[in-house]
Structure 1
């Protein structure tokens, strides 16, 4: 018998058989499901009992504000531009870990804000946050 060639049998099959891939993925899923609870290395210990302690006191930051007319405020108290540095130095003397929030109106002259920031730096305050609105 001679071998007969059918015209369609010589074509390359271009379809992917996904059944073995699904089988492998299911096996991996089962392996992960079984081993996941075993991966927690929790060591059970009996912790000692103590009295409750108060949480550390959270210090409020001092607000320095510059309005649209160039007036400077420290915690809603109006001060002159020249007295910003001495006021901040006295606050820093009372609280060495002092932090500031600087609020400046968008219509204020940049030079005034720069002078306030320079006064803050000369007062020795390193914790400064410049607050803005997020759009």
Structure 2
């Protein structure tokens, strides 16, 4: 009473059927490693002016077009899209931005100001934005800290 485990051909040699499965384990391993690499490096790709933003409970804005970013660092230095701008040159730069063709949803300005700055300094920049006709200003903050 014997059982045959493999198919035998005439010469007594066993013949194996071709394997029709693909081993996906190495593919999954490589993809997980790549995912971890991208998750670690993605936050490092954001370059800009280091600003200590205040906290807020407001939600994020849904924006399709790239907005103009204006930043005030802790020393009060002014930057438009990461390029330093003097106070005297600010009105001309804002007028040039306002003269550019705007997207259909309107031109959005993101204003990032360090929380240690004087309120009057931020309001002077907002006044210049208003004078240039750039009225869609969003104040950028970080999310509320969980305690």
The TM-score normalised by the length of structure 1 is 0.55
- Partner residue of 1:28? none
Task: Say which structure, 1 or 2, has more relative contact order (CA 8 Å, 6+ apart).
Answer: 2
1:123 aligns with 2:132: yes
Equivalences, count: 78
1:61 corresponds to which residue? 67
Question: Which stretches of structure 1, 4 residues or longer, exceed 3 Å deviation after superposition?
Answer: none
Gaps of 5+ in 1: 1-57
More helix by share: 1
Give the Cα separation in 2 of the matches to 1:98 and 1:87. 15
Relative to the length of structure 2, the TM-score reads: 0.50
Q: How far 1:95 sits from its partner (Å)?
A: 2.5
Q: Secondary structure at the match of 1:118?
A: helix
Alpha-carbon distance in 2 for matches of 1:95, 1:108:
32
Unaligned runs of 5+ in 2: 1-63
Distance (Å, rounded) in 1 between the aligned partners of 2:139 and 2:109: 8
CA RMSD of aligned residues (A): 1.1
Match of 1:98 among 102, 107, 125: 107
